[in-house]
Amino acid sequence: MSDAASTSTTEVVGRSFALSSLITSAVLIALVTLPAVLPEFWTVNIFVRAMIFGIVALSLTFLAHYGGFISLAQMVPAGVAGYTIAVTVPDAIPANGFQLPYGPAVALALVLSTVAGLTIGAVAVRTREIYLLMITLAIAVSFYFFVQANVEFLNGYEGIRNVMGPDILSVPLRTPAIFYHAVLAVSVALYALVIYVSRAPLGLVLQGIRDNPRRISALGFNVALHRIVAFGLAGFIAGVGGVLLTFYNIGISPGTVSTHATISILIIAVIGGLGHPIGAFIGAFIFTIFDTFAADIYDRDRFNTLIGAVFLTIVVASPDGIIGLIKRGNALLARDRSPVSRSQTSIAP
Amino acid sequence: MSLELFLTVALNGLTVSALYFIVAIGFSLIFGLMRSVNMAHGTLFLVGAYAGVAVFYPLYDDGNAYAWIIALAAGISASAILGVVLQIVFLGWMQGQELRQTLVTIGISIIVADQLLAIFGGLSQQFYAPDILFGSVPVPFVQGGQYSTFRLFQVVVAIGVGFGLWLILQRTKLGIVVRAGVDDRAMLAAQGVNVPLISVVIFAIGAALAGLAGVIGGTAQPFGQEKDIEFLLTSLVVVIVGGMGSLPGTALGALLVGMAEQFGQSLFPAYSVMLTLLIMVAVLAFRPHGLLGRKLS
């Protein structure tokens, strides 16, 4: 490559980095100021819900993009965390024997969801691709049947209600503005965590395993262990989503971890695009919009047909989701502008 | 557990296994040749059952004795047609993109399940077995000394399906081509075999078996919403345990899962699902390709 070309490539990269951090800050500022502009219905019923589903979907996107594992069991650690909260906190109905304040309950929930993630990883460790997909689906559905059947601790079909959430600085978490900003802060933190891990040794090894497990193994890394740890981290992320979801719904019932919910998380991640962690949140936003306004768009009861059609269209037209569409759109624009960036886009995946 | 109860539960397990075999063998066949996980397999089961119901009740209400046979034919055809459409319109041209095929079939199963709900409503439905299979027959040593005729018939159908498929796979040209395709699809195509056409035929057979199971299963017990997911899950577990694409493996897997389910339900009802899961985990830990499966290239 000639000197001139390489300098301008660096320039392009530098410019796109500056541009993307500019966009990121603009989006963040917009999100933080949103409650001042939008009615509560939008912030709570659309944005908070989208961010919570986005967090659970983020755990799937993390596994899929950096590890190459499509797990359908991400609602399991989320459910484990949610049920742990519901079973331990004092205000829950029906009440139970072992009670904890919210702080330790949340900590316990996240530990258990991480353990659940590690367990799923350990069960699925020797399988790949479609086998992994099938096994995780089987785990997810079994978990759903299990919580539905467990009346003794989890109150079976009805689930556990009245989980009001903790007070933050003696203000109830349920105050809409507080809840919105708390969920936003957690989403941003988890998103940053995923980006950080992707550049840390763990993430680099995972991406190596995704591309060529044999070579990584030959380099002396324990492939199985890294895979299990990735599932553990994904379990933690999904667990945070599960805790927030339980606060949002003021309780938890088997419906939260149903096959329908499991598939919804997959739909969210795929619609947004598995190619980048932000896809999880984009997908969750689109999903929530359709979920909320299905009645106006097509038919109140036919939400599934609507979202199924959207999902099918995206999978058939653009397997890498909205993110993929945006990337290809950018590549097209860039190609028109300069010959240098064309060579760049052809290298990019 | 008394001997009578034990035998009854074992017989229940056997008859349930028979149904699971009929559903799962289609799933396994499709996977074996095309490496595509058909997540809409449970949907094909439900489409067969509902298509059967749609023609069954008008005929039955008019007092036609052959209503059930017509329903059976309608269920099988409806599923087979849907399977062929699925393969030709969506899956055929994405051959090799396994994940994309899986996602497409998930999307289709969501849409079809929702449309079935819109057309047929949420109530459970059931076929009445034809007179010759209705009621029960004396069976020694089981509880009450009687057992449902239709559930025994289910076993006969499963054995017939298994034997028929074995004959097709081992003794016909189609079988030779299919077995070769399982081993090396590209080489088969290089030999001049029309692999896409064979794929459509296999998809039609697999889907038809799901439709057959839909009407048979819908006669043995009521069916309705969420049965698609239940039978998809069962098919998944059966083929994971038994081994993908293997006929005897699927039979063994179905037997293990059916027995585990029935004994689990009678011994510890709330956690019988966990038993099935544990079997799957144990098999995966020691034989990742299933009990009788082999490593596929």
Residue A258 three-state SS: coil
Task: Read off the pLDDT of each residue in A276-296 and give the average, rounded to a whole number.
Answer: 89
Chain A, residues 223-262, CB within 8 A of chain B, namely 259
- Asked if A130 lies within 8 A of B37 by C-beta distance, the reply is yes
Contact B239, B250 (CB under 8 A): yes
Q: Which of B18-22, B76-80, B286-290 has the lowest mean pLDDT?
A: B286-290
Q: Do B111 and A138 touch (CB under 8 A)?
A: no
* Residue bearing the bigger pLDDT, A310 or A342: A310
Kindly compute the dihedral angle of the four CA atoms of residues A49, A50, A52, A56, in this order, to the nearest 10 degrees. Answer: 140
| Ramachandran angles phi, psi of A160, nearest 5° | -120, 130
Q: Is A101 on the interface with B (CB under 8 A)?
A: no
Mean pLDDT of A307-336: 86
Is residue B218 within 8 A of residue B52, CB to CB? The reply is yes
Mean pLDDT of chain B: 89
Q: Is the pLDDT of residue A206 over 70?
A: yes
pTM (2 d.p.)? 0.86
Give the mean model confidence (pLDDT) for residues A265-278: 92
| Chain B residue with minimum CA distance to A144 | B273
Domains of chain B: 3-286 (1.10.3470)
* Confidence class for position A260, pLDDT limits 50, 70, 90: confident
- Calculate the alpha carbon distances from B214 to A103, A120, B117, B221 in Å: 50, 32, 16, 10
Note whether A146 contacts B271, CB cutoff 8 Å: yes
The number of angstroms, rounded, from the C-alpha of A5 to the middle of its chain's C-alpha atoms is 39
Distances (CA, A) of A89 to A155, A161, B21, B122: 15, 11, 45, 36
Establish if B280 touches chain A: CB-CB under 8 angstroms: yes
B284 pLDDT above the threshold of 70: yes
Backbone angles phi, psi at B224, to 5 degrees: -175, -155
SS3 A168: strand
Question: Which residues from B are below 8 Å from A304, CB to CB?
Answer: 110-111, 113-114
ipTM: 0.88
Instruction: Tell me the pLDDT tens digit for each residue of A5-51.
Output: 445 555 666 666 778 788 888 888 888 888 888 888 888 889 999 99
The pLDDT > 90 percentage for chain B reads 52
Dihedral angle over CA of A96, A98, A101, A102, nearest 10: -70
Dihedral sign for Cα atoms in the order B70, B75, B80, B85:
positive
Which chain A residues are within 8 Å of B269, Cβ to Cβ?
A: 149
Residues B93, B97, B100, B102: is their CA dihedral positive or negative? positive
**Whole-number pLDDT of residue A72:** 92
Cβ atoms of B45 and B227 within 8 Å: the answer is yes
A346 has a pLDDT exceeding 50: no
Yes or no, beta carbons of B236 and A131 under 8 Å apart? no
pLDDT at A338: 57
Q: Which of A266-270, B157-161, B262-266, B275-279 has the lowest mean pLDDT?
A: B275-279
Q: Hey, is the C-beta of A212 within 8 angstroms of any chain B C-beta?
A: no
Distances in whole angstroms, Cα of residue B10 to Cα of each of A311, B203, B257: 43, 33, 12
B297 pLDDT tier (thresholds 50, 70, 90):
very low
A308/B111 Cβ within 8 A: yes
In angstroms, the CA B126 to CA B128 distance is: 7
Tokens of B125: 């439905």
Structure tokens at A260: 């329908």
Render pLDDT for A101-129 as a digit per residue (tens, 0 to 9).
888 999 999 999 999 999 999 988 877 77
Structure tokens given for B157:
């159908």
- What six digits make up the tokens of A264? 């919804």
Q: B32: exposed, middle or buried (C-beta count within 10 Å: 0-12, 13-18, 19+)?
A: buried
Among the partner-chain residues A131, A145, A305, the one whose CB lies closest to the CB of B111 is: A305
Question: How far does Cα B262 stand from its chain's mean position?
Answer: 18
pLDDT score of A248? 94
